[in-house]
Structure 1
């Protein structure tokens, strides 16, 4: 459904966008005019709240360290993209598409949906979600609104070329698809190598669709070490290892195909700049962090989420995992700093987000 607009907002937004553009030129405002976010529960900030799904977290103890309390973020506080938006210079959080109204779309929109994947069927074992293909359709609706408000197709095109498009998706295509044989056929239909190739081929088409809609600056994330989450270890067992090997091997196969795709897209799509970001960062001082346990009591959702109204640990800033899958605010800050500033090609290639903003 298209966000509703009030009459005054029809006048306010073109003026606001013009002011944003001028402030960017003067280096007094955000480094880019807008930030669009696509993905799953690692990025979701409320799009699943009103959907019939187990993958939603609009209840305590989620948001216990967030100023507005439980908002639908799968975390005790801010998620990684909240921190990145702050690093980019935005004063406000990027609004969820489900809550986007009028002028608050001017800095971008967050389309991410918990349990969503590259494939449309991914995550449906938990209920309704918004898969990447549908998120792209939602973005097209937002573009039509911006175009109508700016009353100029060329101005809209120019604006979108300057915005950053963040795409962090694919984990659920494994943990809520390929490795759920009781719900999905993919694990029996494809080898891990074939499945990774299939996913990246589909992702390539989706990224090209966003490009055709005007996107030029892309921050694309690989899949993290999904086999090292408390949930994965409890469900699959690790045979004495620290992580579940087959899940991490799936993520590695995906990432190994995604990296050359980023290179090809940069070579083949005029004016575009794609960067690959490694989401597998960790605290530099691991001795002070709890690495293999959740801060909250889990069992909600599909078993991996916090139990509603349960009492969490007293020091979430010392934990890597908030629930059995999702990072704490403390780790999200570390991951955001890495994506934004890292000079290591193992973490950000060929640019980091700060450099992408200036591109």
Structure 2
């Protein structure tokens, strides 16, 4: 580690904590120096496997003046209470997506920034994939012309593996199934590529033979503030895929990854597809583009480190995290209303009113 590496802690020591810790091992910008879980067994196991010191309790970590920020990989419903403790201690917050289990909690986390003078970074890493960044570059350069339509899919076979012992089985903990667990990634990606999402219409279905409470298929149509439209599909009963396609008046671009490398994003470029199809050219004239080497997890945590160092926010901010949850909530409401259009701004406004009421109470 370089002498200038920002020192951070990590709380919640399950599988994902290990993925993130491995991702930043090569970085000279950020270093995890302390870890905590309420389980002593997890603390000791993580320390042995990852080579990171274990804190006896959360307050010990938060009292360490060398630690500038804390990474949270705790369950969604714990994001707000733990983030509040971290912010109160003057430490910057990184929390995995979604920003919180509810939009009201997400807005409360966003409010921590102003209340305690810290930054909040949310782990919507998919927008940092090299292929997504190349599409955004092409849009900004006018290479695709006026973008009018976008489509995205994020699917895997998770619903075929669910049992009542897994939290994703239950509607209360994984509302909409893949809608809240997978499609949320693509909602953030299309928000990044297309701008403000005005309203959505969504339908869902339950086709997995295991009998879980949650739906396992979803499709959400999105209308953007500037008039473009798009959709996000997500199946929980199919082989894994993550794909995005953007259509413009001068060209279209398609990006797709091998889902099997999701946990090792430094290898994504070796098995990814990125192409551009220009003007009136047909399929045979598609131009295959090289996908640069990158690691979305390391990049997002280096963004967090920079926010810890400077006190300035970054694009993975609490507001964007809350927009993604608001789109999920609007889609869930639309499912309940048999596909009727739901305004995202209305969902946000209702949650803001609810959070103000909760705060006053």
Taking structure 2 as the reference length, the TM-score comes to 0.35
Compare CA radii of gyration and give the structure with the larger one.
2
